[in-house]
Amino acid sequence: MIDTNSGITSPSLASLLHERLDPQAILNSVVRSVAGVIGAALASADGRSVAHSDHLMHDPSRAAMIAATMGLAGQLIGVVGGRQLEEVIVRSETGFVIVYAVGTEGVLTVLARPSTNLHHINTEVRARLESLRGVVRAGR
C-alpha cells in the first residue's frame, strides 16, 4: 500500500498479521529495522532452537549456549537483589551479542556490529516481545 501524500510504502494488514505470527518474519523485521543488526535467533529457555533470521545459519548448539547464558545470568541477578532478568549484553571489538528474556519460556539473541545503536535495538525488540512470547508458547 502506498501513501499518496508521502510516496512511502506502508505494510499491508496481511503482511503485518503474517509478521506477528511467523517467528522468522518477526526476526527478519528486527534485522531490517536497525542498521547494524546482522542476525537474530529465538530459542526456548531449555535450549531448543525455534527460529532464526534469514542471514543466520541454523545452529542448535547456539540455542543451548544462549539458554545456558540466560540461566547463569538469571542466577547472577540475585546478587544485586533482582528477580527477573531482562537482557545480557556481550561486547567485543567485533560487535555485540544481546540476549533478551522472552518471558520465562524463551530467549532472543540479536547479533550486531560494534557501531550499532543499542537503544534502537532495545526499542525494536521490546515492541515485538509479546509476539515472540506467543510464538514460544505455541511451540511448546
Backbone angles phi, psi at 83, to 5 degrees: -120, -30
> Is pLDDT at 39 greater than 90 in this prediction?
yes
pTM above 0.75, yes or no: yes
Region for 57 from its dihedrals, namely left if φ exceeds 0, alpha if ψ lies in -120 to 50, beta otherwise = beta
Place of cell 503482511: 15
- If you average pLDDT over every residue of the chain, what do you get? 84
Dihedral over alpha carbons 49, 129, 98, 100 (to 10 degrees): -80
- Element containing residue 40 per DSSP (H, E): strand 37-44
**Grid cell at residue 135:** 510464538
> What digits encode the pLDDT tens for the residues 104-139?
889 999 999 999 999 999 999 999 999 999 888 886
- What are the chain's domains? 13-138 (3.30.450.30)
